[in-house]
A and B are shown apart, each in its own frame.
Chain A
Amino acid sequence: MDYKTMPDSYKKSSKPHFFCPGCGHAITLKQLGDVVSELGIAKKMVFGIDIGCSLLAWDFFDIDTIQAHHGRSIPVVVGIKKVAPKKIALAYMGDGGAYAIGLQSLIHAAYRNDPIIAIVINNTNYAMTGGQMAPTTFPGEITSTSAFGKRDQGFGNHFLGPETIFSIADKKAYIARVSVSNPRNIKETFKKAISKAESGNFAFVEVLSICPTNWKTNAHNSFEFLKTIEAKFPLKEFSKTREAV
Chain B
Amino acid sequence: MNILLAGEGGQGIQTIAETLAYAASLSGLNSSYLPQFGVEQRGTPSVAFVIIDKKPFSANRFKIADIAIVLRERAITRVVDQINPKTTLVFDSSTINRELLPKNHGRLLAIPATKIAKENLQPKVFNTIVLGAICKLIPGLDEAVIFESLKHFLGKKFIQSPALAEMNKKALDLGFKFVFEKDKFSAPSFQVSSKPITVVDEGKKSTVYPSLCKGCGICIEKCPVGAISFSEEIGFFGNSVPKIDHKKCILCHNCSVFCPDTAITIEKKSK
Contacts and interface: CB of A to CB of B under 8 A. Distances in A.
Given A3-B262, A5-B263, A26-B261, A16 B217 contact: no
B27 interface: no
Interface string A1-25: 1011111001000011111111111
Nearest to B212: A16
A220 B221 contact: yes
A219 interface: yes
Given A16-B236, A219-B216, A128 B39 contact: yes
A108 interface: no
A132 interface: no
Interface in B38-68: 39-43
A27 interface: yes
Contact of A3 (B212, B216, B239): B212
A208 to B, nearest CB: 15
Most chain A CB within 10 A, of B207, B221, B236, is at: B221
Interface string B251-268: 000001111111111000
A16 B213 CA distance: 8
B215 A21 contact: yes
A23 B217 CA distance: 11
A37 interface: no
A5 B214 contact: no
Contacts of A24: 260
Nearest to B209: A3
Interface string B228-269: 000000001101000000000000000011111111110000
A5 B40 contact: no
B211 interface: yes
A2 B218 CA distance: 23
Counting from the closest, the 9 A-B pairs by CB-CB distance are A22-B216, A26-B260, A21-B214, A219-B217, A21-B216, A219-B221, A5-B262, A5-B265, A20-B41
Interface of B: 39-43, 196, 207, 209, 211-212, 214-218, 220-222, 236-237, 239, 256-265
Interface of A: 1, 3-7, 10, 15-27, 30, 56, 128, 183-184, 212-213, 218-220, 222-223
19 contacts: A3-B209, A5-B263, A5-B264, A7-B262, A19-B40, A20-B41, A20-B214, A21-B215, A21-B237, A21-B261, A22-B217, A22-B218, A23-B216, A26-B261, A27-B218, A183-B258, A213-B41, A218-B217, A219-B216
